Amino acid sequence: MVSIAGSERTIPIDSFTPQALSEYMADYGGRVTGEGLFFGAWIDDDLVYLDLSMNLGGRAEAEVAGRLESQLAIYDVMNGKVISL
pLDDT given for residue 15 in this prediction: 95
pTM here is 0.80
pLDDT given for residue 32 in this prediction: 78
- List alpha helices for 1-85, DSSP H: 18-35, 59-68
- SS3 category, 50: strand
CA 20 to chain centre: 16
Cα-based torsion angle of the residue sequence 40, 78, 75, 61 in order, rounded to the nearest 10 degrees: -110
Domain ranges of the chain: 2-84
Q: Which percentage of the chain shows pLDDT scores above 70? A: 96
pLDDT band at 34 (very low <50, low <70, confident <90, very high): low
